């Protein structure tokens, strides 16, 4: 048997004949088309756009839970619920979607966060039909990113989701929204060009042109060509992750976006970068990944420390949390680079965990921004007495972010640490330096987060906030919906790990096989 065919996920037969995945993708898109027909305008605001978006996304989330609980086998690492249809045969484009352990939990995460983002947009009345229509388009596009099994379809979805985010920042953002939105679209558009070039190069590299991701994974080219494709994907997906030094758009975007859009940015969009690195760089280019894995770990360490140090310099609450996201996504890079089953599992759990925690932090930030009308840390103080429930939620999400034991962040980061220590491929010195450097980032995290809590919620009380009300029942439900899973995963991590572990183990097994083959080829004959 050819080495490149070993341990690769094949397509599993499914007992589900209903097009679950297509419905999950197309339902929000169809609702977006209906949005312009709803009543209401700027002079006469209507709750119909908000109610339609919330209802459709709630149904969509329920469809995800039903489809994956009944028709998805988490013990099977192969593609499931596969749907294929010739779309544009002339260019080889297929409507090809499927789910495995790498994509399924992120689809559910994106569905939950997007639904809660709409619920958090309760008071948006300016161009409401366009606003909620864009959120619906975003929901469809991001689901398609995670479920696409055709490269061109993946790329179209990857580009489509950029448009709603750009408009949501440019139209409903803060004072410098045009600058932040333009910076976001320039970074991501240029990165997309590298993704397209690398993907088409892979599609043309074999005896037969193909855009099917499973077929591309079976080619797994090595040598200089594989390294160039890997670097193209790394830069392209690294912008979205974000990876240093391609991260500078993120603090600006978060600083200007409203809280619901920040929830989407942190909870979903950053995870697209991590998912794509696993799907393309690791699964399709294992030989190149084995060569560049140490560099990926180094970049991850830089992310962790630089993001933490940069957070200290931020006087805006959202910008500080954004820099914290840069630091935490560095652990994803380290986990992916460690090429160990345990560390790759930790990287997946870190994406899930950070998606919930960051969304919670940005939501609570938006909650007290509605009451204070400022995000400037020096201009705040004494909020704990006026907003005790808000303070409790922000403190809980901050403790989760700094990886307090009992929270999901602790499990994901300790799993990555254990994966690094058990990986004998790297030298003892390299592993020791990696662990010490990552630990420095862990030490810095509680300093900048807890100092922010102290400055915002304690100290001199702001007189203007004497009669400001605390979180209402709607906000309490949103906050609990994000924090309860965080606590559940922290106490019982198997509830999340069992979903994807078969796929991450298969991915690590493939890397191990390619590593042994490469070692064998280096040994002298006889």
Residue 234 CB partners (closer than 8 Å, separation 6+): 243, 277, 281, 292, 296
With 0-12 / 13-18 / 19 or more C-beta atoms within 10 angstroms meaning exposed / middle / buried, residue 348 is: buried
Residue with the two structure tokens 């699964």: 283
Q: In the structure encoding, which two tokens stand for residue 360, read together?
A: 């919670």
Of the candidates 288, 304, 152, 283, the one whose C-alpha atom is nearest the C-alpha of residue 232 is 288
Q: How far apart are CA 107 and CA 331, in angstroms?
A: 21
**DSSP-assigned letters across all residues of 120-142:** HTTT--TTHHHHHHHHHHHHHHH
Cis, bond preceding 245 (omega within 30 deg of 0): yes
Q: How far apart are CA 493 and CA 487, in angstroms?
A: 9
CA angle 195, 198, 201 (to 5 degrees): 145
Q: In the structure encoding, which two tokens stand for residue 69, read together?
A: 């609980």
Do residues 52 and 130 make contact, with C-beta atoms less than 8 angstroms apart? no
The total of other beta-carbon atoms located within 10 Å of residue 43's CB is 5
pLDDT at residue 209, rounded to an integer: 86
Q: Per-10-residue mean pLDDT for the chain, 526 residues long?
A: 39 60 95 89 82 95 95 92 86 89 95 95 88 95 95 94 93 88 91 94 86 87 89 93 89 89 91 94 91 92 92 89 91 90 92 94 89 82 84 91 88 89 82 88 88 84 64 92 93 92 91 74 50
CA angle 346, 271, 290 (to 5 degrees): 55
pLDDT at residue 15, rounded to an integer: 43
pLDDT at residue 347, rounded to an integer: 93
**DSSP-assigned letters across all residues of 427-468:** -HHHHHHHHHHHHHHHHHHHHHHHHHHHHHHSSS--GGGTT-
> Where are the domains positioned within the chain?
10-521
pLDDT at residue 201, rounded to an integer: 93
């Amino acid at each position: 048997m050819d080495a490149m065919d070993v341990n690769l996920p094949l397509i599993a037969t499914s007992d589900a004949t209903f097009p679950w995945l297509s419905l999950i993708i197309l339902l929000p898109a169809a609702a977006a088309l209906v949005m312009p027909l709803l009543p209401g305008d700027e002079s006469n605001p209507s709750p119909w756009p908000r109610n339609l978006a919330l209802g459709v996304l709630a149904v969509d989330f329920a469809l995800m839970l039903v489809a994956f609980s009944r028709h998805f086998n988490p013990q099977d690492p192969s593609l499931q619920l596969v749907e294929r249809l010739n779309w544009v045969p002339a260019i080889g484009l297929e409507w090809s979607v499927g789910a495995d352990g790498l994509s399924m939990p992120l689809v559910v995460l994106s569905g939950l966060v997007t639904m809660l983002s709409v619920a958090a947009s309760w008071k948006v009345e300016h161009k409401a039909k366009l606003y909620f229509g864009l959120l619906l388009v975003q929901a469809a596009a991001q689901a398609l990113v995670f479920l696409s099994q055709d490269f061109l379809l993946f790329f179209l979805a990857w580009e489509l989701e950029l448009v709603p985010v750009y408009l949501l920042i440019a139209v409903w953002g803060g004072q410098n929204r045009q600058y932040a939105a333009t910076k976001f679209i320039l970074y991501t558009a240029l990165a997309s060009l590298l993704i397209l070039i690398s993907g088409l190069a892979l599609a043309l590299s074999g005896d037969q042109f193909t855009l099917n991701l499973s077929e591309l994974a079976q080619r797994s080219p090595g040598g200089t060509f594989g390294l160039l494709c890997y670097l193209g994907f790394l830069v392209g997906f690294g912008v979205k992750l974000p990876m240093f030094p391609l991260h500078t758009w993120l603090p600006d975007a978060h600083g200007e976006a409203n809280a619901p859009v920040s929830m989407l940015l942190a909870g979903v969009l950053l995870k697209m970068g991590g998912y794509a690195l696993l799907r393309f760089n690791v699964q399709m280019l294992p030989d190149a990944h084995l060569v560049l894995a140490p560099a990926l770990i180094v970049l991850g360490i830089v992310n962790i420390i630089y993001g933490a140090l940069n957070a200290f310099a931020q006087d805006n609450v959202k910008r500080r949390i954004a820099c914290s996201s840069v630091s935490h996504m560095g652990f994803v890079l380290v986990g992916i680079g460690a090429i160990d089953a345990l560390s790759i599992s930790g990287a997946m759990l870190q994406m899930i965990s950070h998606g919930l925690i960051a969304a919670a932090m940005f939501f609570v930030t938006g909650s007290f921004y509605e009451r204070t009308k400022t995000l400037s840390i020096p201009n705040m103080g004494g909020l704990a007495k006026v907003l005790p429930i808000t303070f409790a939620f922000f403190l809980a999400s901050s403790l989760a972010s700094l990886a307090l034991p009992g929270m999901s962040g602790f499990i994901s980061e300790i799993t990555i640490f254990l994966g690094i220590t058990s990986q004998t491929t790297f030298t003892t010195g390299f592993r020791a330096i990696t662990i010490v450097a990552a630990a420095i980032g862990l030490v810095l995290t509680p300093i900048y987060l807890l100092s922010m809590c102290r400055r915002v919620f304690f100290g001199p009380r702001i007189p203007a906030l004497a009669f400001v009300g605390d979180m209402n029942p709607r906000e309490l439900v949103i906050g609990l919906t994000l924090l309860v899973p965080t606590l559940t995963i922290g106490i019982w991590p198997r509830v999340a790990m069992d979903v994807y572990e078969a796929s991450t183990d298969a991915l690590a097994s493939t890397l191990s096989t390619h590593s042994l083959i490469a070692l064998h080829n280096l040994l002298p004959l006889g």
